[in-house]
Amino acid sequence: MALRIGCAAAPGRAQDNKTGSWRVFMPVVDMEKCILCGTCILSCPETSVSEKDGQILFDLDFCKGCGVCANECRAEAITMIQEEK
């Protein structure tokens, strides 16, 4: 049966939907200003902000460019810039 009985599915397929294409503005972080407080990570509705080796990373495959991270950044380290497509 190709369809999962009862309209059920295993996790993993949501990532097929690359919501990054919805974006108009793109977040850019100035690591000079960033204090690594994690607010942007916790606030992101898309689970698309992460930190690795002291760097804040945006997963642009999924970031919808809502700007919550920039709005909430207390160090004002994130700016939203218009993206060229």
Q: Any contact of residue 65 with another protein (CB under 8 A)?
A: yes
d(CA 17, CA 71): 26
d(CA 80, CA 16): 25
Vertex 65: Cα angle to 74 and 83 (nearest 5): 110
Q: Give the nearest distance from C-beta 85 to another protein in angstroms.
A: 16
Site for another protein in 43-62 (CB under 8 A): 43-48, 50-51, 59, 61-62
Contact with another protein (CB under 8 A): which of 26, 29, 34, 70?
70
- Residue closer to another protein, measured from CB, 38 or 81: 38
